Structure formats: C-alpha cells, structure tokens
C-alpha cells in the first residue's frame, strides 16, 4: 500500500506495545524504533518501521522530514473540566495558607463560585474560553480529552456545558468525549435539602442520555459533598440507564469511594490521594482504572497518590490533567507528566503508557487511539527532545514541536494551524 503522507527521519519512535489495560510489568513495556518512519493513508497509520520506507512511496506521497525529532502517540487526557466560565485566582492565597479546599466550598466559594459564573455566561462565551484552553492543551500534545459538565448544577446549564464540548468535538481537531457530572456539588438553592437536588439529578438522567453523546456519569464522592450512599444511589440509576460510571474518590478524605467504585464496576476511580490499602488491593483485582491527577496534589499542596503501591498491586493506572479553575488550573499536560514522574515515581515508560494507551482504553477508544499502530488514527507528536526520559527531566517547558491528528498537521513548529494570534 502507498502512503499519502510519510514522516521520516524520526530519531526514535516510542509507543505502547501491549493490549490495554496495562498493569504491573506491562505498564513498563514500550516499543522503541530508531531512525523510524510512519506511513499514513486516509488519516490512519498504515506502517511504522525503521530505515527503509521506499515501498510506501508513490510520486504523490507527501514526505515530512522529522529532522531527528522523537515521535510519540498523541497524549490522551481522560479527566478534564474543560468547559467553565472565568477563573478563581482569588482563592490562591487561601490555598497557599492551607485553608482546606472543602472549607472554601462550604463558604459558597470553590465550585459554587464557578457555577454562578457558568450559569451567567452565554454558550458563545463559554465556547470561546474552552476553545482557548483546548488549543493550549493541543499545543502541549493532547489530541484526545474527556470533558465533564458539573458547573451548571441545573439541567439547562449542564446541557449548555455539554453542548460546548460537543461543538468543540465537531469542530475538531481534538477528539472530545463527554461526561455528565451534575453531582459535582450541591447548588445553593438546594443547600437546605440536598435530597431534592439528588432527586433532580436522577430525574434528569434520561434527558442527558437522550442527547446521544454522553455515555458516562461521574460523581464527586467526598465528605460534605456526595456521600457513599448518595453516590451509589445516583450511579446505580445511571448504570440501569446504560451509562458507564466514574467517581471522584478518596481525594480529600478516606471515605471509601474507591471500594464503592469497584463494587459498581466503575470504569475509573479518580484522585485517590487517601485510598485505603485494602481498596488498592481490591482495585488491582478489578477492571476499574485508577486515574491519578498529580497536578491537583501539586496545586492544592496535598500528598500524592500511592502510585507505586497501586502498580505493585496490579492496578491499571492512568495519569490525567484534571484541568479546572479550582484545583488544577493548568493546560500544560507535559507538566502533569513530569509531576507523575517526580512525585508518583513513575518511570518515563510508565508515564507514556499512562497517558496514551490506558486512557484510550478508559475512554473506549483503544481501537482507534493510544498507540502508533497500523490501523489506528495517525495522532502523532514530534518532540524536540533527544529521548523520552528527557521530557520528564527538562520540566515546565513545551517539548512538542508538531502535532498530527488523523494524519493532518494541526500544530506546525509550535504554532496551531489556522490560529490567528
Ligand atoms: O476534580 N474535586 C472536584 N472537582 C474538581 C475541582 C473542581 C473545582 O474546584 O472547580 C477536581 O479536582
Ligand atoms: Fe476532576
């Protein structure tokens, strides 16, 4: 088969090698090709190899010289709160001084602050803010994301947020999957009787399902937010309607959300800073991913999840960004990877698998995305770095030079194609 484009002169190509979900020793295994090429046709990878690519060339093939850069699969960020209005830098001093995140929320700040702004902001303005953030993520090499609602806390605004994400997905080039997170906080108007809000979330689930593009429901299972029993109630109805479920679990308090996630066969439990050792063992025997968010520990000045213990107990691990205005205000996904290396103690190979093939599997996209494998989408990064370890070592900067999504170049020499500055 002849390629319609071919990237050559790649110093080293690094890609996941085993079928997901990757656990234990498999999480450390990757394939490395030197002096590599990637042949692409109709947006799909048709071959990757070393040295001789002449068999894929026709006179029409567009040849792209990687000039000795390294190649990786596009990064997949399986946990973001992309769509929201405004920012919350006024909370930063309190966080610096150690005021608990949950106290800020209880005082009507935190998520509730962003909810007021998101309700008051038009679809077009939300789209503009989210597009700006999404383009930043893309420039750092993120080619697929998950985006949650949860700053509306009423049906109309939740749908507005979900429609912003869906519009961005349709506009491309980044692939976006949507998660409904009406259970992100109790809105002020239901504070006196939270049960009425929980009932309204449950009543709204069929409408969310009928949108057709939301197949996951997430709950913030946390002390003073949604209890274990409230979480179970919401997620059981969601499952019965055909949704997959996820939980923000054991982030700030050891409530047992991870264990509940295993019981509910959740596709992931996320955060897990305070997961019990017992639940780590349970998680390792389940099909539920641990989705770790080291940027949140960093920003909130909290401990980091016990990733090594999880990996030793056969837990399937993803690393994600958790981009949001209150606990992780950054779109720099390479910084998240660097934090995973420095503080979760993942090796460069483990980080790569935890931000590509494992999250592809979590988002039900591993047939299309997550590795540089023939038959999959040509979502490819070229990075100005001598090797994979260098990306974890030289921190805080952007190593991504070029990004291709479905074979189309969308970032060229660090500039997003078509973006006006
Ligand atoms: O994943 N923990 C709850 N939700 C977000 C934070 C949202 C916010 O503070 O706006 C998180 O960290
Ligand atoms: Fe989150």
Ligand 1 pocket, residue 321 CB under 6 Å: no
Residue appearing with tokens 């460069």:
348
pTM of the model: 0.98
Asked if residue 172 has a cis previous peptide bond (ω within 30° of 0), the answer is no
- Atom number in ligand 1 closest to CA 300: 12
Ligand 1 centroid to Cα of residue 72, in Å, is 29
Provide the residue-wise pLDDT of the chain in tens; the chain has 421 residues. 999 999 999 999 999 999 999 999 999 999 999 999 999 999 999 999 998 999 999 999 999 999 999 999 999 999 999 999 999 999 999 999 999 999 999 988 999 999 999 999 999 999 999 999 999 999 999 999 999 999 999 999 999 999 999 999 999 999 999 999 999 999 999 999 999 999 999 999 999 999 999 999 999 999 999 999 999 999 999 999 999 999 999 999 999 999 999 999 999 999 999 999 999 999 999 999 999 999 999 999 999 999 999 999 999 999 999 999 999 999 999 999 999 999 999 999 999 999 999 999 999 999 999 999 999 999 999 999 999 999 999 999 999 999 999 999 999 999 999 886 5
Q: Which ligand is nearest to the CA of 117?
A: 1
Q: What three-state secondary structure class fits 2?
A: coil
What SS3 class is residue 371?
coil
Determine if ligand 1 sits within 6 Å of the CB of residue 113.
no
Ligand 1 in contact with 336 (CB < 6 A)? Answer: no
CA of 199 to the centre of ligand 1 (A): 22
Check if the beta carbon of residue 147 is closer than 8 Å to that of residue 178: yes
Cα separation, 334 vs 310, in Å, equals: 22
Pairwise CA distance, residues 110 & 230, whole Å: 21
Question: Is residue 294 a contact partner of residue 336, using CB atoms and an 8 Å limit?
Answer: yes
Give the ligand 1 atom nearest the CA of 151.
10
Q: Ligand 1 within 6 A of 151 CB?
A: no
How many angstroms does the Cα of residue 213 sit away from the middle of ligand 2?
Answer: 20
Which ligand 1 atom is nearest residue 79's CA? 1
């Amino acid at each position: 088969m002849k390629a319609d484009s071919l990237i050559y002169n790649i110093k080293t190509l690094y890609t996941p090698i085993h079928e997901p979900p990757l656990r234990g020793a498999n999480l450390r295994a990757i394939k490395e090709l030197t002096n590599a090429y990637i042949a692409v046709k109709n947006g799909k990878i048709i071959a990757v190899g070393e040295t001789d690519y002449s068999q894929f060339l026709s006179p029409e093939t567009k040849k792209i010289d990687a000039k000795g850069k390294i190649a990786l699969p596009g990064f997949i960020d399986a946990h973001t709160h992309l769509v929201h209005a405004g920012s919350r830098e006024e909370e930063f001093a309190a966080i610096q001084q150690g005021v608990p995140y949950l106290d800020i929320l209880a005082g009507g700040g935190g998520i509730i602050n962003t909810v007021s702004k998101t309700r008051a902001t038009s679809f077009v303005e939300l789209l503009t803010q989210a597009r700006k953030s999404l383009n930043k993520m893309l420039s750092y090499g993120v080619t697929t994301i998950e985006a949650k609602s949860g700053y509306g806390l009423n049906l109309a605004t939740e749908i507005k947020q979900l429609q912003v994400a869906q519009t961005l997905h349709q506009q491309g080039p980044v692939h976006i999957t949507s998660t409904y997170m009406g259970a992100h906080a109790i809105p002020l108007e239901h504070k006196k009787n939270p049960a009425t809000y929980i009932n309204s979330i449950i009543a709204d689930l069929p409408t969310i399902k009928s949108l057709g593009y939301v197949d996951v429901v997430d709950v913030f299972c946390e002390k003073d937010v949604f209890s274990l029993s409230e979480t179970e109630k919401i997620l059981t109805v969601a499952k019965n309607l055909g949704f997959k479920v996820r939980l923000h679990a054991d982030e700030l308090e050891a409530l047992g959300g991870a264990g509940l996630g295993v019981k509910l066969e959740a596709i992931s439990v996320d955060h897990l800073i305070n997961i019990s050792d017992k639940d780590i063992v349970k998680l390792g025997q389940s099909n539920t991913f641990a989705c770790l968010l080291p940027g949140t520990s960093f920003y909130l000045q909290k401990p980091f999840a016990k990733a090594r213990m999880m990996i030793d107990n056969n837990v399937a691990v993803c690393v994600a960004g958790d981009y949001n205005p209150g606990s992780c205000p950054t779109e720099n996904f390479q910084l998240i990877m660097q934090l995973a290396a420095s503080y979760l103690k993942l090796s460069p190979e483990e980080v790569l698998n935890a931000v590509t093939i494992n999250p592809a599997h979590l988002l039900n996209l591993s047939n299309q995305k997550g590795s540089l494998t023939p038959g999959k989408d040509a979502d490819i990064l070229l990075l100005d770095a001598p090797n994979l370890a260098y990306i974890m070592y030289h921190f805080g900067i952007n190593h991504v030079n070029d990004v291709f999504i479905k074979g189309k170049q969308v970032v060229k020499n660090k500039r997003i194609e078509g973006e006006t500055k």
